[in-house]
Structure 1
Amino acid sequence: MDTLSSAASAQGSARSGSLAGKNVFVTGGGSGLGAALCQVLTGAGATVVVGDIRQENAERIAGLLREEGAQVHAMACDVGDPESARQAIDNAISACGRLDVLINNAGTDITCSIDELEYGDWDRVIHTNLYGPFLMSKYAARHMREQKGGAIVNIASTAARRAWPNASAYHASKWGVLGLSHALHAELRPHNIKVTAVIAGGMRTPFLLDRFPDIDISTLQDPRNVAEAVLSVLQLPAETVIPEIMVLPMKESSWP
């Protein structure tokens, strides 16, 4: 993957960095922002579980990161399925010993009018984008409460703050994720678990580029920039939490 290979030289000295000794689970880690998150976090010294609905995608990213000296595990996970989500968290803890950070990044979308939107497509988007963060957070929080601390990062979107046509399922899911994230921030804070929502603007990832080949890429940001913002949140002192952060490209077209 170009994003991984282009920054490989910058990672060599960072393996013992600020997240050394931390274990991080990234859902949707097999491409796009998820892959960038895995790269940036292993570069900061973390051990990362690359979760993806497709095992081959998780293995590919994990293999690239291992070549750079990272400690990484690959895991297939359907975040919207209760048993798959529970098993994924249990397997991650078995592999790593504990789980310090969960990043709910997996997402999907469909672009069509509500008249054309089939129930099955609505269900798929809501299950991945909203049920997924709920289930993964539910099972991760159980372990984090027992170990008396942790962090959960929920990747939202500018679609959680405004709306445009032909994206009703995506908007409903991302507005839901934002509400869920703030609710978990309030609920889990007394247990020393930090919860942060990341409202990410448009990125140069397959999520957009594969569906909108005519999009002006100059209005989009490198997903690594969002990943670096997530890293900065995870590097905060223990006494500080950021419930919400927005990361936009300078020419963001979906936000004023």
Structure 2
Amino acid sequence: MSNTPSLQGQTIIITGGSRGLGAAIAQVLGEEGALLVIADLALERAQDRVAVLAESGIKALAMPLDVGDEEQVRQVISATRERFGRLDAVINNAAIDITVPIAELTSTDWERVVQTNLTGPFLMAKHAAAAMGPKTAKGGGGHIVNIASTASKRAWPNAAAYHATKWGLLGLSHALHAELRPQGIKVSAVVAGGMRTPFLLDRFPDIDPGVLQDPLNVARTVRFVLTQPDETVIPEITVLPMRETSWP
């Protein structure tokens, strides 16, 4: 008899869930019976994604969210609890990058990247943990999954803000793992290598898609992390394309 937890009926918020990896995560978790909140800055795109998911019989709700805005974060988490009566997991997937040399990186752009990639996951984790509450025999507890990047472990030119935030997110993730585990709240970082998503393909048209991985593969890793037995947590896991030779 398996003791693998089921995602059936679990309520999960996915930030930046309208396309790319977020959409892949929604597909994979939805197929397991999870109830999804697609929280995205682009509400119309999130609504389109909800319609696509519905075609597969997946239940999802679109909500507008700027993860760097604390009031919006509060509203999404509160509305999720009101609608579904529970909050089981949050996937901190929303992220942006401004790829320019530091000489051209304005302080405004720096702040924008930090607000989305690092402050956003902090705010989501803070308010999600409060909404989940400590795990008891009657319920509570939950899971926070932070989508990091190989940019959290290495560096290349012209991405100072992105690297700073992803290294910071990995540190935040491990700090929250240490802090929240006594409450029965799991925290995991998924360090993803390059994927065939608009995040890379739109910005780097010369990139060879063959060296990248299908985002569904990373989404299945998120599912794996979420379905560990209660007594086990995966604080960090790395998922790389076989042909990503820039990884050491």
Q: If the length of structure 1 is used for normalisation, what is the TM-score?
A: 0.92
Aligned to 1:168: 160
Aligned length: 240
Aligned to 1:93: 81
Q: Is 1:33–2:25 an aligned residue pair?
A: no
228, 231, 254: which is aligned to 2:246? 254
2:133 partner SS: helix
217, 225, 228: which is aligned to 1:225? 217
41, 48, 58: which is aligned to 2:36? 48
8 Å contact from structure 1 (residues 79, 132) kept in 2: yes
Q: Is 1:195–2:187 an aligned residue pair?
A: yes
8 Å contact from structure 1 (residues 23, 99) kept in 2: yes
Give the C-alpha shift of residue 253 in structure 1: 3.5
Q: Which deviates further from its counterpart, 86-95 or 224-233?
A: 86-95
Runs of 4+ in 1 over 6 A off after TM superposition: none
Q: If the length of structure 2 is used for normalisation, what is the TM-score?
A: 0.95
Aligned to 2:65: 77
50, 53, 61: which is aligned to 1:65? 53
Give the C-alpha shift of residue 148 in structure 1: 2.6
Give the C-alpha shift of residue 69 in structure 1: 0.9
Unaligned runs of 5+ in 1: 1-16
Unaligned runs of 5+ in 2: none
Give the C-alpha shift of residue 255 in structure 1: 1.0
What is the rounded CA distance, in whole Å, between the counterparts of 2:45 and 2:112 in structure 1? 20
Q: Is 1:114–2:102 an aligned residue pair?
A: yes
1:115 partner SS: helix
What is the rounded CA distance, in whole Å, between the counterparts of 1:241 and 1:41 in structure 2? 18
The root-mean-square deviation of aligned C-alpha atoms, in Å, is 1.0
Give the C-alpha shift of residue 18 in structure 1: 2.9
Write the letter of the residue equivalent to 1:123.
E
1:58 partner SS: helix
8 Å contact from structure 2 (residues 213, 240) kept in 1: yes
Q: Deviations over 1:64-99 (max 9, x none)?
A: 111211111111100011111111111111121110
Write the letter of the residue equivalent to 1:99.
L
8 Å contact from structure 1 (residues 49, 74) kept in 2: yes
% identity of equivalent residues:
61
What is the rounded CA distance, in whole Å, between the counterparts of 2:6 and 2:127 in structure 1? 26
Q: Deviations over 1:81-136 (max 9, x none)?
A: 11111111111111211100000000000111100001111111000000000000
Write the letter of the residue equivalent to 1:198.
V
8 Å contact from structure 1 (residues 152, 196) kept in 2: yes
2:90 partner SS: strand
Aligned to 1:177: 169
Q: Is 1:153–2:145 an aligned residue pair?
A: yes
Write the letter of the residue equivalent to 1:203.
M
8 Å contact from structure 2 (residues 41, 64) kept in 1: yes
Write the letter of the residue equivalent to 1:53.
L
